[in-house]
Amino acid sequence: MSTLNDVVINKLSGGLGRRNPEQDMVSGLLFDEPLEFSDELKLKLESDTVKRLASLEDAEAIGITAKYDEKGQSIYYQIQQFFRMNPSGDLYIMKTAATSYEDIAAKAMDMQEKANGNIRQLAIIYSGPTTFTQTQAAVLAAQSQADLAYTDYMPFEVILEGKGFTVDATSLAGSDAENVSVVIAMDVEKANKYKNSAAVGLVLGAISKAKVSENIAWIEKFNLTGEGFSKAGFIGGKEIKTLGTLNDLNEKRFIFAKTHTGLPGLYFNDSHTCTAGISDFAYVENNRTINKATRLLRTALLPKLASPVLVDIDGKLPQSVSKNFEGLCRSALEGMVANQEVSDFDVYVDPKQNILATSELKVKAEITPIGTARKIIVDLGFKNPFGIDKA
């Protein structure tokens, strides 16, 4: 049956930015405001107060504009790059009065608490002059904050600018900072304005866009090219094209941007953290996976805290009790398997444990992570369909 001609208007929803985002993408950006800023430039944001942004326009509404990026500050640029990489991202920001890179890094846990523990990855920037030695001190301060966060059941990853970077910089592998990454990538064309800054907003946006199991160097998913990032370089505007130098910086566990021969676009080299490559937590995706599992398991088990636990005549846990606790954990982790964030997992509650003596119920949980094809090796040669003539 044909219908009358008409103008049909469908009512849409979602334009007001009222979202219930996937919690894995919730991010944070911690920064300072230069003391010499004029009243005209100062933000409509109190120090040590968190503000949630759902778009670049939200930042502009409180005075964070391109004009704000003066005197070494790069906050507008970082927010712009974050939302360019992940328009659906959720970003908490906090301004602090701290006056050194290390002191700002030491405010990370304060910001996390003010955000009610919602932040999963946090970038930190500082406007003042900073040497690479001072950046290394900030790495250690940031790791101490990440350690506190894990202890308080609100784990997060920290992304720092490699301020003061030079090509002969010390390796980060010995820093023993498994929850901290250092970025030295920068658009060469932005170097005049941001002389000692790195594109941490770009990295933060990519991480928030990725599943917890995904490496941000994945070529198919993370082409970095776009407004504000069109020519790969390093802090200070250096262009490093020598393959040997790039390999050296990769071995030193820096995160930078590069091109790939035969493919247009710009891409990250890897997702290194500031620890040895043999560590279980050598890459951001390793940490994000374990952090998510930690939060899920605690949420599942917390209602059982201080609950009565039946034991049998020998003081052992009945099968029904051990299986009940195993089931709670399995239910918590099954979604990660379904979402391809882990390959598999195993949970075991030993029925022989002596809960009457210890008042402790021990659960062993193991997850099998998703692998990453960091190298693809192909054996290639010629073949003669007629075989080799041995005459």
Q: Which helix (H) or strand (E) holds 258?
A: strand 257-260
Q: Is position 173 within any domain?
A: yes
Rounded CA-CA distance 118/154 in Å is 7
Last residue of a domain, one of 268, 291, 306: 268
292, part of any domain: no
Beta bridge partners of 347: 365
Distance of alpha carbon 101 from alpha carbon 36, whole angstroms: 17
Same domain, 40 and 189: yes
CA dist 150 → 65, 286, 287 (Å): 34, 15, 11
Overall domain count for the chain: 2
One pLDDT digit (tens) per residue for the chain, 391 residues = 456 655 655 554 444 444 444 799 999 999 998 766 656 666 778 889 999 999 999 999 988 998 888 777 899 999 999 999 999 999 999 999 888 999 999 999 999 999 999 999 999 999 999 999 999 999 999 999 999 999 999 999 999 999 999 999 999 999 999 999 999 999 999 988 998 999 999 999 999 999 999 999 999 999 999 999 999 999 988 888 888 899 999 999 999 999 999 999 999 999 999 999 999 999 999 999 999 999 999 999 999 999 999 999 989 999 999 999 999 999 999 999 999 999 999 999 999 999 999 999 999 999 999 999 888 898 988 888 887 766 5
Q: Is 292 exposed, middle or buried (0-12, 13-18, 19+ CB in 10 A)?
A: buried
Buried b (16+ CB within 10 A) or exposed e, 142-174: bbbbbeebbeeebbbbbbbbbbbbeeebeebbe
Same domain, 372 and 224: no
Share of the chain above pLDDT 70, in %: 92
Q: Are residues 155 and 35 in the same domain?
A: yes
Domain-ending residue, one of 212, 242, 268? 268
Domain boundary among 236, 253, 268: 268
Instruction: Classify residue 76: in a domain, yes or no.
Output: yes
| Full residue range of the structural domain in which residue 230 is found | 23-268
Residue 304 falls within a domain, yes or no? no
183 and 104 within one domain:
yes
Q: Is residue 66 part of a domain?
A: yes
Is 319 in the same domain as 263? no
For residue 309, being part of any structural domain is answered with no
Domain identity same for 115 and 181: yes
Is 274 a domain residue? no
Q: Do 230 and 152 fall into the same domain?
A: yes
Rounded to 5°, angle at Cα 355 from 354 and 361: 115
User: Within a 13 Å sphere around the CA of 34, how many CA atoms are in the beta-carbon half?
Assistant: 16
| 3-state class (DSSP) for residue 96 | strand
Residues 263 and 325 in one domain: no
Residues 47, 170, single domain; the answer is yes
263 plus 318 within the same structural domain: no
Identify whether residues 160 and 256 lie together within a single domain.
yes
Q: Are residues 217 and 363 in the same domain?
A: no
Residue 11 in domain: no
